[in-house]
Structure 1
Amino acid sequence: MYKILLVDDEILEIEALKIMLEKFKDQVTIVGEAKNGREAIELNSKLKPDIIFMDVKMPGIDGIKASKIIKNQNEDIVIIVLTAYDDFDLIHEALTLGVKDYILKPVKCDNLLNALSVQINNLKINNNRIKMKELLLMDKIISQDKNEAEILLNSIIESYIIASNEDIDYFRHKIKLILEKMMKISSKFRFKHNRLLNEEEYLHKLNSLESIQSISAYINSLLVSIFEEILESDTETKKNDIEKLKCSNKIIEPALKYIEENYREQILLEEVASISNISLYYFSKLFKKEMGMNFTTYVTKYKIEKAKKMLKNTDIPIVNIASELGYYECGYFTKVFKKIEGITPTEYRNNN
């Protein structure tokens, strides 16, 4: 359920909005009402809504000033302004602040519901992006890609810092879920020197931390510890595992074909290992032995080669190329491209 805050100095307008929003009662809940900008700012900090319907003209702090303050606190919050004035300068100012949409008053039900539907879809897309980042983080740990894992973890932390709006309990809960997943993934490795604490000890420590900064540092330290253990883990395998290594050609052939046919999607180590009918741990070992690089590096380089061809031979916008290759954000695609090629996609296109 998405939380909504209604802000308008006219009681009848608030009541009308509540009636209209009944049609979305299975997706949203109204958590508060404010009659001016000051109350809106206070309730935003207290209730942490996902969406605010904000009247522009109110006594005291008006909707524009309140929107600016609230967006500074949480840039991801969705604000839809309501205005009785068809004033495009005012609308432009609101949109410049990061307001997502505007509705002219008197508010028509269809206009409100259409605007709300668009913003709910955008929120779902953003939530899915974070979930995909978490999924990719676990994949990078399994495939032992430390640099990519660190980039993804910090990106996830930044997303949750913004979403938390300084609510440490919310932030702690989100990091706790990531910690549990990381511990589960680390259990797939046979560590030679297992210096990692057990999950309960990590959770106990996490619960004792009293700031968002210390929690962020703590989850980063766990990632570092996991990779230290991976690097020092025993590389010897049991006799039956050595037999698997001997027949690596046949095992990874389906994986290479799968990458070739599905490079436009997010390709995860777990699903490819499943296709090869081998455990994650041994597939990762086999792939690196046979191809001379880990799985995620191979997939990334394969995608970047496809990107280079598109950059060189077409005028497709870079954001579309990123999407075509299964990258959830154009900025992330640009970072990956530059890491491999030494220049940005734009520079590569200009040079070629």
Structure 2
Amino acid sequence: MAYKIEEVLDLKKWETLQESIAIATNLAIILVDYQGRPISTHSQVQPFCSLARKHPELKFFCEKCDARAAIEAVRMNEPFIYRCHFNIIDMAIPIMVDNQYTGAIMAGEITLRDNHDKLEQVLNLDHLESVQAFKCEHVDLFEQYPSLTLDELTKFANMLKDLSHYIVNEAIKKDFLVKTYKQSLTIRKKDDRVVTSTNLDNLEYVEKELKQSLLDKRLNNLSTKRSLKNKQLQPAIDAIFYNKQENLDLTTLASLCNLSPSYLSRLIKEEFGEPFTKVYTKLKISWAKKLLKTTDLPINQISDELGYVEPSYFVRTFKKVTGMTPLKYRKNSN
């Protein structure tokens, strides 16, 4: 699957973090795409660079430097520290997704106290009068650049590398989970869950809801086809469906399958992703929801139909699973 970094990252959140890092490190930072084009604001940009990037001719060279440095960083698979066409120190931290280059964190706009000339200059434009004239015209701004040692800059580069890996991995994980969760919602009724953008921003919520949705889908399949990956479970599942008014335990079900209760319990968890008690409870609640929607049976009768000893226990269980009482569920359904 191909990703564009601006589609995966939450740019507003990234820019807030980017600004904080720029202030703490004295580095100017910007996020660029694989062609070197900016996709975030430019944090703590130095006045000289700001003017250069707005210049109709010189801004092209700035982007060309960014693109060349980023490609070199990808080739090395490491942060690449270099000199730009103005002899200013910058670095490129590649952002890789599934081994594909999607963009880079460009940082720097500093001078070095040591090893300055040992760094590669990715674009030499000393022969261009416009470059030299611009530098001479704004020499006062050029002298305002913060200064670091190469060791300090290398440590910052490695920090940004680790940070970019973490952020991208988490962003892709969330992107995958949200898409899968949205797809899984097709098996739910509209009144079962209210999905908001706030909820989808919460990765823990999405993971929990996705797990629930996938289990609901398995239960929904069982209620119609009773299709199972592990056919050893078929006698137990059939018994549960044919005896909805009973409360069957693992020992009884295990004897039908010629299995031990502990082994049956393990197989059920492998099949549905949750322990037997949770699966059985949610299955009964799914039947209760169907009865509440499609019949006018009173709550105590539905409780009896599903093998609950006391209607009060059925109500508590229903509310624990769905977040509402059976009466409220029926009212919302209608």
Same fold (TM over 0.5): no
Question: Which has a greater percent of helix?
Answer: 1
Q: TM-score normalised to the size of structure 1? A: 0.29
Q: TM-score normalised to the size of structure 2? A: 0.31
Which protein has the larger Cα radius of gyration, Structure 1 or Structure 2?
2
